[in-house]
A = this chain, B = another copy of it.
């Protein structure tokens, strides 16, 4: 394994390394065969991190029909919501191939937090920062013009990673959805911004110019 499981989860992202290590110690590494169920409604207090492999999250409707919500690839994770508070009703996660999974139990994390109040205070801090950033992003998305939304998105992303040239983390189609528009319009807007000299672009490779 190249990296700590804990490093894959945004909730823990900005924690200092030593605190991450403490959490990492609580993590169980497990191997699952294709078709094995990792999470079902009776076991609903785990954070599930896919260290290697693939899994699917799904619910079952009253007819017993499977409803796939999400495909989890290597590096994806699920359960941040229900690790605290949120109920997990009718939620399944199943390995779709042989996979290495990291599990973090709610109770274990809570225990650690009780022992070290600092940890939960820090997590709270990080989370509040996250909320205020999301609020900014909500304002961003409320901009009426697509080109404004796009530019603002790019600038925000550049700020986050601290570079002016980067590769877009999303496909055009997904970025379009994210920005509340269509791939076609997005394509045109990229062309527009390029013409205005605000950026250079080769497919998903972007170079932003400051103004």
Q: Which residues of A contact B (CB under 8 A)?
A: 11, 80-81, 83-86, 110, 113-114, 117-118, 120-121, 123-132, 134-135, 137-138, 141-144, 177-182
Contact = CB atoms under 8 A, between A and B. Distances in A.
Nearest to A118: B114
Contacts of A80: 128, 132
A79 to B, nearest CB: 11
A154 B138 CA distance: 17
Given A85-B125, A142-B180, A180-B143, A134 B132 contact: no
B85 A126 contact: yes
A178 B138 CA distance: 9
B113 A117 contact: yes
Which of A114, A130, A142 gathers most chain B CB within 10 Å? A142
Contacts of A86: 128-129, 132
A180 B141 contact: yes
A91 B131 CA distance: 19
A138 B132 CA distance: 13
B134 A138 contact: yes
A123 B84 CA distance: 10
Contacts of A113: 117, 120-121
A84 B143 CA distance: 29
Contact of A141 (B11, B131, B142): B142
Contacts of A181: 144
Contacts of A117: 113-114, 117, 120
Contacts of A129: 81, 84-86
Contacts of A127: 124, 127-128, 131
A178 B142 contact: yes
A88 to B, nearest CB: 12
Contacts of A141: 138, 141-142, 180
A131 B132 CA distance: 10
A1 B181 CA distance: 48
Enumerate the 4 nearest inter-chain pairs by beta-carbon distance, A residue then B residue, closest first. Answer: A142-B180, A84-B125, A85-B125, A117-B117
